[in-house]
Structure 1
C-alpha cells in the first residue's frame, strides 16, 4: 500500500489524504449526533473551539517540525548523490592523467555509475542495496588498486583516496535510504490527528459547524500529505534522483 502511495503523483496523495481526513472528521460528529448529540449552546461551542484550537495548534507544530526534518534529509540525500557523481568523475580524471592506459578504469567507473542509477536506486526504494552495484564497486576498487600499484606513492595515495571517497559516499547513500522522519513522530501525529477528529463530537450538530470541521480536516490532511511526500529521501515524486550519476556516466564515456 505504501509503495503505491509513494509511486502516485503528488496531487493524488494530497487528494487521498485530504479526502480521508475530511471523511473521518465528519464521521465523528455525525455518529455522535446519533448516539448523544452535543448541546446546542454557546458554551458548548466555545469548549469545542478551544479544544480543537489546542489540538490543531500542537498538531500543526509537530507537522511543521517533521516537514523541516524531512526537507533537511532530502537536501542531504541530493548532496550525497551529487558528491558521489563528482567523486567518480574526479577519480577518472586523476586516473586519466596518471595512467598510460586508463580505459579499464573508465569502463568500470561507467559501469558503476550506470548500475547505481538503474538498479540500486529502484532497490533503495524497497530498502535494499543492489548486488550488481556492489559488484561494480568491488571491481572499481580492484582496478584502482591495481593501477595504483604501478604509480608513485603520491599519485597512488591520491587515486586510492578518491576510490575510497566513492565507496564511502555509496555507503552514506544506502544509510540515508533507510532514513525518514522518526517513527515516534508519526505515532505522535496519528495520536494528535485522532484527538482532533474526536473533538468534532464536541460541536453542536449544525451545518456550519460541520463545514468548519471539514475544512480544518482538509487542511490537516494536506499537511500530512506534504510530510508524507517528503518523508523518504529516495522514494516518491519529490526525492533524490539518479540524474547526477547518469550525467557522470555520459561525461566519463566522452573522455
Structure 2
C-alpha cells in the first residue's frame, strides 16, 4: 500500500528536505516520527528537495507499507504531537502503487518574500532587503522570462539533470499592503537553485543595476556564472504542488474525516 502525506514546515532549523550526514533534515525528522508511530522502518519520497532554510506551505511525500493503515484523526494527531512544532502533517491518504510524489507532480508554485522593514516576527521567514526596488521593471523582466524555456543560467552548476528546460505558467511580482514584495512563479519543474537565482538577478534589475537587455542576455547565455547571486533561502516558500485529479482522488475524503 502506498500513501501520500501532505505537510508543511518552517525550514529555518533544517538542512533542507533531503536526509544528509551534516545536519537534521525535514525528511529525516518525518521518517523518524512515522517509524516510531507505525512500529516499522518508514522511508519517504518528497515531491522535491527544498534547500536549507527554505519553507513549505504545501509539500507532498509518499511512503509504502505492507498492510493498509487504519487512517484516523487519532493517528494524525499523534504523529503531529511527535513532530516538532515547525513541521505539521495536514493529512495522508491512499494512492495507487504507481503514483509518485515527485514524478506524478505536474506543477510547483513558489513564492519569494522581500521586506524592507525589519520585523521581529518574520525573522528567518523573509528576506530583509532595505534598498528600494522598482517592481514595474522587475515585472518587465518577468515577461522576458516567460518567453524562454531553457534556464541553465539560473541552475546551480553541478545540477545532475539531463536538460534545463522548464515550462513556466506564470511569473510576476506583487507588492502587498504591508509593503512586502512577493515574487510568484509556477512551472512544471524547477532546477536546483533556480528560483533564488532568478530573484537575486531580478533584484539587480529592480535596483537599476542591470538593464532588461542584459537580463535577457543572461537567459540566452546558458551560463550560471554571469547570473546574479542567489537570494537567501529564508524568503522562499514552496506554496503548492500540483497533481492530476486521479492522484488526489482520496485527498478530499481524508481532509473531511481527518
- TM-score (normalizing by structure 1): 0.24
In terms of Rg, which structure is larger? 1
Higher RCO (C-alpha under 8 Å, 6+ residues apart): 1
- TM-score (normalizing by structure 2): 0.24
